[in-house]
């Protein structure tokens, strides 16, 4: 490596270590430092690795975790970028961390969770082996403006990678629009019977679902039938599993290994994550756009045991500053069963007042709803009895709740 690249890599590694020791989740600063010193650093650090990119609106983190589990069980050496570090500087930091100072890479694969706009940026700098697009929905109105922007950036990125194998969602028209008959890429489609493109990984039947897991049946690319037990709840996680199974196909991972991985995969930070406070199960769901939030509400509604609902809404830059998306979430449907379903509903976060307004318009019984700013108080309240507590949170609210929770129970840090 050139002296410049060595210096940049060293600084990235050093600052990563310092941040970790001082307990900060800030996983993007090291990459920012590295890029300032060597603007071409990503190209240089990535050239000896096979790269898997996971992008899309919802499900990136969970799908990446599933693929990681599969690579691990298949004995493939790889590294992945930490949750939340899916922008360019976070990705650079991950590469720097996994490259030794004499330029040697320690792994065969880089498994990278990548924000959609960032994918376009880095698609000009690296050579990608496999691309997974989970779905494309309306998201981050303040940043993306409209859905055509998201489609265009991913499309451009794909056009920069004609040799990459694409794993695409055959049920999502926006994803289907990313390619056409002239596309040179090998494509593996995943989806169900309603898909307009014939899926190579086909969801045949959902056999069983619960608030913790699900069981379903697929056909693999060569027509083999496989029964899958997934250790995560919700139809949206079944879709993420289909994406991961398509990636397994692209990476020549045996279906049996893929199946075993999905059986054991644990939830990612804040994504259907389950933690126990005293005897109360807390289920964490990250929400950020209408499609994702509506799916989470459907999951909660389909398991109507008496429970508590907590919704924490922030509007910092990382959460998305445009709150109008909550008006497109189907709260009306949940409102109809909310009287019997929820013992109490707690609203918190910076924009709790907007959320209360939204819920009143949706038809919730406002007597069941309370606004509490203090996360400690909410955690104390919900842990008074052992019924399920569903916690919907935006991105920065996730960290705030976790901090409050970490003072009461022993949980892993943000960056694990």
Partner 1 sequence: MNKIHIAHIFPGLLNCSGDFGNLKAITRHLEDDKITTEIHAISPDDDFDASKYDFFYISGTFDYNREKLIPALNKIRPELEKAIADNKTILAIDNGLVLLGKYYEDLSGKRKECLGLLDFYTVQGEDREANNYLFDVDGLKIVGFENHAEKIYLGENLKPLGKVLVGNGNNGEDQTEGVKFNNLFGTFAGGPILPKNPDFCELILKTILSKRAKELHFKPLKTEIAAHEYLVDRLESHQTTSNNF
- Give the integer Cα–Cα distance in Å for 160 and 125: 10
* Position among 6, 29, 147, 277 found at the interface with partner 1 (CB under 8 A): 147
Nearest distance, CB of residue 361 and partner 1, angstroms: 6
Q: Is 63 in the site for partner 1 (CB under 8 A)?
A: no
Q: Is 142 in the site for partner 1 (CB under 8 A)?
A: yes
- Give the integer Cα–Cα distance in Å for 344 and 369: 6
* Position among 350, 392, 401, 405 found at the interface with partner 1 (CB under 8 A): 350
332: which 2 tokens?
């009306």
Handedness of CA 168, 170, 172, 176 (dihedral sign): positive
DSSP E strand stretches across 158-224: 165-169, 187-192, 201-209, 214-219
Site for partner 1 (CB under 8 A): how many residues?
Answer: 34
Q: Is 382 left (phi over 0), alpha (psi -120 to 50) or beta?
A: alpha
* Position among 137, 216, 325, 346 found at the interface with partner 1 (CB under 8 A): 325
Q: Locate tokens 């990119």: which residue? A: 53
CA atoms within 13 A on the CB side of 173: 3
Q: Which stretch binds partner 1 (CB under 8 A): 268-276, 292-300, 324-332, 376-384?
A: 324-332
* Position among 101, 317, 339, 406 found at the interface with partner 1 (CB under 8 A): 317
Which residues, other chains included, contact 242 with Cβ-Cβ below 8 Å and sequence gap of 6+?
169, 190, 191, 199, 201, 203, 218
Distance of CA 325 to the CA centre of its chain: 18
Q: Locate tokens 């008006």: which residue? A: 327
* Position among 72, 354, 380, 381 found at the interface with partner 1 (CB under 8 A): 354
Q: Is 334 in the site for partner 1 (CB under 8 A)?
A: no
Nearer Cβ to partner 1, position 399 or 415? 399
Handedness of CA 182, 183, 187, 189 (dihedral sign): negative
Q: Which stretch binds partner 1 (CB under 8 A): 85-93, 238-246, 260-268, 348-356?
A: 348-356
CA distances from 154 to 50, 117, 179 (A): 20, 7, 10
Nearest distance, CB of residue 351 and partner 1, angstroms: 8
Q: Is 316 in the site for partner 1 (CB under 8 A)?
A: yes
For residue 52, list its beta bridge partners: 111, 130
* Position among 10, 76, 103, 138 found at the interface with partner 1 (CB under 8 A): 138
Residues 380-399 that bind partner 1 (CB under 8 A): 396, 399
Residues 274-303 that bind partner 1 (CB under 8 A): 290
The residues that touch partner 1, with contacts defined as CB under 8 A, are 138, 141-143, 145-148, 290, 314-318, 321-325, 327-328, 350-351, 353-354, 356-361, 366, 396, 399
């Amino acid at each position: 490596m050139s002296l410049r690249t060595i210096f940049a890599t060293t600084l990235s590694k050093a600052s990563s270590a310092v941040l970790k020791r001082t307990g900060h989740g800030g996983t993007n600063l090291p990459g920012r430092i590295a890029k300032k010193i060597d603007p071409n650093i990503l190209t240089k650090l990535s050239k000896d690795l096979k790269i898997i990119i996971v992008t899309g609106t919802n499900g990136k983190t969970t799908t990446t975790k599933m693929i990681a589990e599969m690579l691990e069980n298949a004995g493939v050496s790889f590294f992945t970028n930490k949750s939340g570090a899916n922008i360019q500087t976070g990705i650079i930091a991950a590469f720097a961390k996994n490259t030794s100072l004499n330029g040697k890479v320690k792994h065969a694969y880089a498994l990278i969770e990548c924000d959609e706009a960032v994918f376009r940026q880095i698609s000009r700098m690296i050579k990608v082996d496999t691309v997974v697009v989970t779905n494309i929905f309306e998201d981050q109105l303040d940043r993306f403006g409209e859905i055509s922007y998201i489609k265009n950036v991913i499309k451009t990125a794909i056009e920069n990678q004609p040799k990459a194998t694409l794993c695409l969602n055959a049920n999502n028209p926006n994803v289907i629009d990313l390619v056409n008959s002239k596309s040179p890429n090998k494509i593996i489609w995943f989806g169900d019977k309603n898909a307009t493109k014939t899926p190579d990984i086909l969801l045949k039947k959902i056999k069983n679902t619960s608030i913790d897991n699900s069981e379903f049946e697929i056909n693999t690319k060569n027509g083999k039938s496989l029964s899958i037990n997934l250790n995560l709840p919700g139809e949206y996680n079944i879709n993420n599993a289909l994406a991961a199974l398509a990636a397994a196909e692209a990476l020549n991972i045996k279906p049996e290994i893929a199946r075993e991985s999905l059986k054991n995969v644990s939830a990612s930070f804040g994504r259907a994550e389950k933690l126990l406070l005293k005897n109360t199960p807390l289920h964490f769901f990250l929400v950020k756009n209408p499609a994702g939030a509506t799916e989470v509400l459907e999951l909660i509604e389909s398991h109507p045991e008496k429970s508590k609902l907590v919704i924490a809404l922030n509007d910092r830059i990382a959460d998305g500053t445009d709150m109008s998306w909550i008006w497109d979430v189907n709260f009306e449907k949940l409102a109809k069963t909310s009287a019997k379903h929820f013992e109490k509903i707690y609203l918190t976060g910076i924009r709790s007042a907007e959320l209360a307004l939204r819920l009143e318009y949706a038809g919730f019984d406002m007597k069941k709803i309370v606004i509490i700013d203090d996360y400690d108080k909410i955690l104390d309240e919900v842990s008074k009895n052992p019924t399920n507590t569903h916690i919907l949170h935006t991105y920065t609210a996730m960290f705030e709740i976790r901090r409050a929770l970490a003072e009461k129970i022993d949980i892993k840090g943000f960056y694990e």
